[in-house]
Amino acid sequence: MEGEKKHFVLVHGAAHGAWCWYKLIPLLKSSGHRVTALDLGASGADPNRLDEIVTISDYARPLMEFMASLPEDDDDGKVILVGHSFGGYVISMAMERFPEKVLVAVFVTAEMPNLVEPPATLMIEDLELAKLMIRPFKFFLGDMSKESLLSEAQYGSVKRVYIVCKDDVLTKQEFQERIIKSYPPDEVKYIEGADHMAMLSKPKVLYQCLLEVADEDWQSCDAQLQKEGGSAE
């Protein structure tokens, strides 16, 4: 409900780590929200080596284990997943496996798979970003070229918000709009002047966007849709 404090789970993009959220975390906490920022496999401070991360499932394991640790059937304990860039694929996996534990998913200039195409169909290999990688990274193109394993009943049941970063030169705005058109989310927000790393270039604006997401009554929206037998599409 509006005004209640939420639990944000922040998922970084390729070659980054939990550290990239360092400006955003204290802002969310200052509003009383709980925040968890994870290092994915062979990323950030994660102890695994890249050669030990063979599949996208290996890479996503820290998030999956965290989601599995959350209590079952606890509406008040549902989390807000926030995925940046390649992290959009990772939170999509968590949405498919644990839809009952996710209040809403937020994609920040992120890949947001649809239910039809293989994830790699909309993938960009961020070559400029690769030059700046803190740790080496795999794009798991073999895994991502397979048919979509996401379902309407699981992944499709979770509310989605997409945040467009209008000055992103890696995932350009027209590509972000293409992602949105491919599988329209429940809401779209825009950040003027934000580059690919909005959490660093526009942390206060991103923070305000996330506060707006947190204040929306997503559970009442779900209940109303179930009562009407409709969908948000």
Report which secondary-structure segment, H or E, holds 61.
helix 56-69
Do the beta carbons of residue 85 and residue 13 sit within 8 Å? yes
- Among 12, 16, 33, 196, the active-site one is 196
Alpha-carbon span 107 to 134, nearest angstrom: 22
> Does residue 12 carry a catalytic annotation?
no
CA dihedral of 22, 48, 130, 126, whole degrees rounded to 10: -80
Active site residue 168: yes
Q: Of 39, 46, 126, 168, which is the active-site residue?
A: 168
Exactly one of 7, 12, 85, 143 is catalytic; name it. 85
| DSSP letter assigned to residue 71 | P
Q: How far is CA 8 from the centre of its chain?
A: 11
Residue 109 neighbours by CB distance under 10 Å: 28
Other Cβ atoms less than 10 A from the Cβ of 52: the count is 10
Sign for the pseudo-dihedral over CA of 102, 10, 181, 165: positive
What whole-number distance in Å separates Cα of residue 48 and Cα of residue 176? 31
Give the integer Cα–Cα distance in Å for 101 and 158. Answer: 9
Tokens of residue 6, six digits: 């939420």
* Alpha-carbon gap, residue 46 to 9, rounded angstroms: 17
Q: Is 85 a catalytic residue?
A: yes
- Catalytically active residues, by annotation: 85, 168, 196
